[in-house]
Structure 1
Amino acid sequence: MTPAQSPAVVTESAPALAAIRARRSHSKVTPQAPTTAELQALIEPLASVADHATLRPWRFIELRGDAREALGFALAEAAAEARTSSLSPDAEFKSTAKFLSKAQRASLVLAIVVSPRTHPKAPLWEQEAAASGAAHLLGLALHEAGWGSIWRSGPHTRSAPVHRAHRLAPEEYLLGWLYIGGIPADEDRPKFRRALDLNRALTEL
């Protein structure tokens, strides 16, 4: 940037801003999905995520193939445990089938894990914020690489059955899952968004 250039002029055309504006969630994706090596290439830059004390208090877990079925059964078990009354066998079967279907809406489901560390200056909420930042940036990186994704969660995300299914450590917990796949032809276009109220989004003290 030369002295004559204003930062505002430079950032208007910055690739990062263009990528942020173009990012969108894809509730439906095609069966194609990134390989582990391709995912690692997108995760590697996340070393720059704001992270007090550089604890890296997050990780991701790939769920492919039968692992997604295990997630579906865990969600169904959690739902059954949360009910105040039992279902008929037929209704129970349909409920389980529903959760199995939900868990397999993408050929790659990526669990977002908060993996906290004990640190005197980095409380849990800061570490969860770092994990959330990593997940958001990964979603942006996936979009830039040509992949569709959506961040999903639900009432059973932090249930005991789901915790066991992911083989999490006792102190770990989930922020949800990124459902990842190819972008369908009819969704490969910008998504309209209501403009931000900048007077509300940015105020003075």
Structure 2
Amino acid sequence: MSALEAMRDRRSWSKVTDLAPTSVELEAFVAAAGRVADHKSLRPWRIIEIRGSDRDILARALNKADGKKGYSSKPRRAPLILAVVADLSSKKIPAWEQEAVASGVAHMLSLALDEAGFGVFWRTDDKTRSKSLAKAHGLSKHEVLLGWLYVGGKPQRSRPIRRKTVDAAKHISRLPGGKKTRKAHDARL
């Protein structure tokens, strides 16, 4: 599968099976995803691997962030959860750019996992940056949690799911005041 095909065919898998990549397989995926564009090569990100009973720590922290007792059922939706963390410690690069790099790694990782046959969905929460979740993930004062990639096997489907294609023309524009129209430029090519 080409990179273009992987991007075009990507979808979120809200229901996954108990199959998950091993820690060794995960390292290979993270190494590839870490090649994302990164100003000054800071690598301002890290991934926290959450499996098995470690999901209970996340389950409790999610409920605590919501002001509830007990355990959230959300972490039991996948056998592997990957917390995506941005490290904002650089003062030379804007924080938004460091978060963009970490987000890029997460997306590249989701594409690599999908291409390898795993179902992935990226979950966020309005409490993602709460103190209880930061503590549960062992974040430093310069780190922020961007969300979690839930990873598992792709379930068998009786029929393929068709996603709507993106009408790229609706999302591409010229710089205001530019001399040539897009159609005139395309005609030259």
Q: Which band: TM-score by shorter chain? A: 0.7 to 0.9
Contact 1:109–1:180 (8 Å) recurs in 2: yes
Residue-by-residue CA offset, 1:29-53 (whole Å, 9 max, x unaligned): 0011111100011111123201100
- SS at 2:151's partner residue? strand
Determine whether 1:73 maps to 2:43: no
Alpha-carbon RMSD across the aligned residues, in angstroms, is 1.7
Aligned counterpart for 2:98 among listed residues 127, 130, 136: 127
Check 1:179–1:187 CA distance in 2 against 1; reply closer, same or farther (3 A cut).
farther
Determine whether 1:118 maps to 2:90: yes
**Using the alignment, how far apart are the partners of 2:159 and 2:101 within structure 1?**
30
Count matched residues. Answer: 175
Looking at secondary structure, tell me which structure has more helix per residue: 1
Residue-by-residue CA offset, 1:114-157 (whole Å, 9 max, x unaligned): 0123142x211111100000000000000001111100011121
**Using the alignment, how far apart are the partners of 1:25 and 1:187 within structure 2?**
17
**Structure 1 unaligned spans of 5+:** 1-13, 81-91
**Using the alignment, how far apart are the partners of 1:167 and 1:188 within structure 2?**
42
Check 1:176–1:115 CA distance in 2 against 1; reply closer, same or farther (3 A cut).
same
Deviation at 1:187, TM superposition (A): 7.6
Structure 2 match to 1:104:
76
**Structure 2 unaligned spans of 5+:** 176-189
- SS at 2:15's partner residue? coil
Contact 2:33–2:106 (8 Å) recurs in 1: no
Structure 2 match to 1:183:
154
- TM-score, normalised relative to structure 2: 0.87
- SS at 2:34's partner residue? helix
